[in-house]
Chain A
Amino acid sequence: MARLVVLGGGVAGHTAATFAAKWLGKEHEVVVVTPNSKWNWIPSNIWVGVGQMKKEEVVFELAPVYKKAGVIYKQAKAVSLNPEGKDTSDKPFVTIEYTQEGKVGESEDVEYDYLINATGPKLNFDATPGLGDGSGQMGTNTVSVCTAEHAVHASHELEKCIQKMKDGERQKILVGTGHGTCTCQGAAFEYIFNVEHELKKAGVRDMADIKWISNESFLGDFGMGGLHMKVGGYVVSSKIFAESLYAERNVEWLIGAHTSKVEEGKIEYELLDGTTGEETFDFAMLLPPFSGVGLKAYAKDGSDITESIFAPNGFMKVDANYDAGAYENWKASDWPKTYQSPAYKNIFAAGIAFAPPHLMSKPMQSPNGTPINPTPPRTGMPSGIIGKAVAHTVCDLITQGEGAHLHEASMAEMGAACVASAGKGLFTGTAAAMTVYPVVPDYDKYPGTGRDTKYTFGEVGLAGHWIKHVLHHMFLYKAKLKPGWALIPE
């Protein structure tokens, strides 16, 4: 009997664990270690953050689902890896610390034959003074929609803000990125339009000044270096597409901005040209930057080998080309295919947990040397596809032996769909639906745009909005492992 341990129960980890349990059956063990007791469909946190959905509609308890799947579930966080075992045993293990009620703080060494690191990101609020509380949690100056709890808090704060507008008090709303190296601009992009939609619905839009602040060097970069998409028969830059959406809604933008400090009602920022400035706000949703969760690794003799397994940002090194050098030398083939650790062949990373070889956007910094560029997005559809491919590989290694084929899921050969809704009503909302293929631009194959414009398109309307509703119900259904779940694509 072999044991696969999956660290993390988000999109990548949950997909990997559930498929591995299905494919391996009862002959082998699948263990999930995740600090959360609930699974969260994060894209719908946006609706929770504007009060259009309850937290309970975007989360569910993991324990009964894993029981049904035959997965051993440990509500705990991984602390360190010992990929060579310890002095008394060669068996590799991961040290975990329980977060489950009644066992908080207890630790355990969980041995494994194969390990999938799908820990997702650490929400690094403290990277910006005032964005965090100094102990790694979100501070009190701004709100976030990164977790369901954060989104509930954001919704309450927004409600207060709307009430003030109803009482005749003009409000300034700021949405975007809270640091120069943030990713997931798409989430903030969707949130700002939902806020704008809610203000219109409440009849107070004319009482609010709404502003976007972002580390993108141009609007519509989205951490992917922008994209050219088919829109209304034209091939259009995402810059034009995004600017049009903002202008239509009378939302101003400030781009190329590194938020350097947050205080109550005020942020300080530095721009790509080196100038600095301040923005005041009454309500601000600023995303934190991501980093790895801070797993340590130790050799058999107890020496620290963290640097050989993890990149300096805490994400796990995999089969990517980390020596590509300058922007001009970057290639789609730099991106990983199998997500296998080069140091230990029985360790894989999936989703946000793998270290990208470099950015997708053009690297930028201010004359003061402050990096101001989005880091690559690896959430949603790519996370699910990578999780499934890695699970497939591990199952084949277990059942067919070490010579088994390693399955590939390069982000340079995979597409992604992004639906940014505004509003939730079936006939009152709209959405900007976009697909991009491939996620990582491939200028060898597509020298002009880096992407296949047959499959890279954008459209605004109810249709995209309905798709967002379908995705919400479909992915929650799939994650709950209801009948036919495995047939639903990632």
Chain B
Amino acid sequence: MSIEEENFQKNDNFKLTMLPGAFAKRMRTCVVWQFIRFMVLNIKMLIVVSKSH
């Protein structure tokens, strides 16, 4: 059963939010995509750090 069919039925609070689909979940652990995101996140965080000093 997909996560949305399983979890949305468990709790009324759960029904009012969003859940990741299969593609979004796969991308979270896709090493190539995550390596790109790692570089992007590092750059963005460095910008935030530099703006904070």
Find out whether the CB atom of B31 lies under 8 angstroms from the CB atom of A244. Answer: no
By the criterion CB–CB under 8 Å, are B13 and A417 in contact?
no
Q: Is A252 positioned at the interface, with any CB of B under 8 Å from its CB?
A: yes
Query: Does A459 sit at the interface, judged by CB under 8 A?
Result: yes
Which residues between 448 and 490 of chain A lie within 8 Å of chain B, taking CB atoms?
A: 455, 457, 459-464, 466-467, 489-490
Q: Is the beta-carbon distance between A462 and B3 smaller than 8 angstroms?
A: no
* Bound CA–CA A385/B50 (angstroms): 11
Docked-complex contact A247 and B48, CB < 8 angstroms? no
B29, A430: Cβ atoms closer than 8 Å? yes
Q: Which of B20, B38, B48, B50 contacts A417 (CB 8 A)?
A: B48
Is the beta-carbon distance between B48 and A455 smaller than 8 angstroms?
Answer: yes
Residue of B20, B27, B28 touching A244 (CB-CB under 8 A): B20
B52 touches A415 (CB 8 A): yes
Residues of B within 8 A of A359 (CB): none
Residues of A near B49 (CB, < 8 A) are 381, 415, 417, 489-490
Q: Does A27 contact B (CB under 8 A)?
A: no
Task: Assess A461 versus B14: contact at CB under 8 Å? Given A247-B7, A385-B53, A415-B51.
Answer: no
A461 touches B19 (CB 8 A): no
Residue A355 at the chain B interface, CB threshold 8 Å: no
Contact of B34 among A385, A455, A461 (CB under 8 A): A461
Asked if A427 and B19 make an inter-chain contact with CB atoms under 8 angstroms apart, the answer reads: no
Q: Is A462's CB under 8 angstroms from B29's CB?
A: yes
| Count of interface residues, chain A, beta-carbon cutoff 8 Å | 36
Specify the main secondary structure of chain A where it touches its partner: mixed
Give the contacting residue for A455; candidates B13, B14, B29, B44; CB below 8 A.
Answer: B44
Is A112 an interface position by the 8 A CB rule?
no
Q: How far is the CA of A378 from the CA of B29 in the complex (A)?
A: 32
The reply to whether B13 and A461 contact each other, CB–CB distance below 8 Å, is: no
Asked whether any CB of chain B lies closer than 8 Å to the CB of A293, the reply is no
Contacts from B to A (Cβ < 8 Å) = 3, 7-8, 10-11, 13-14, 16-20, 24, 27-29, 31, 34-35, 37-38, 40-42, 44-53
Residues in A lying within 8 Å of B, measured CB to CB: 232, 240, 243-244, 246-248, 250, 252-253, 381, 385, 388, 409, 413-417, 427, 430, 433, 435, 437, 455, 457, 459-464, 466-467, 489-490
Given contacts A240-B18, A252-B11, A466-B34, list 15 more A-B pairs with CB under 8 A: A246-B17, A247-B11, A247-B14, A250-B10, A415-B49, A427-B31, A435-B44, A455-B47, A455-B51, A457-B44, A461-B34, A463-B35, A464-B41, A489-B53, A490-B53
A–B Cβ pairs within 8 angstroms, 25 of them? A240-B17, A243-B13, A243-B17, A247-B7, A250-B7, A252-B11, A385-B52, A415-B49, A415-B51, A416-B48, A433-B41, A437-B48, A437-B51, A455-B44, A455-B48, A460-B20, A461-B37, A462-B31, A463-B41, A466-B38, A467-B38, A467-B41, A467-B45, A489-B46, A490-B49
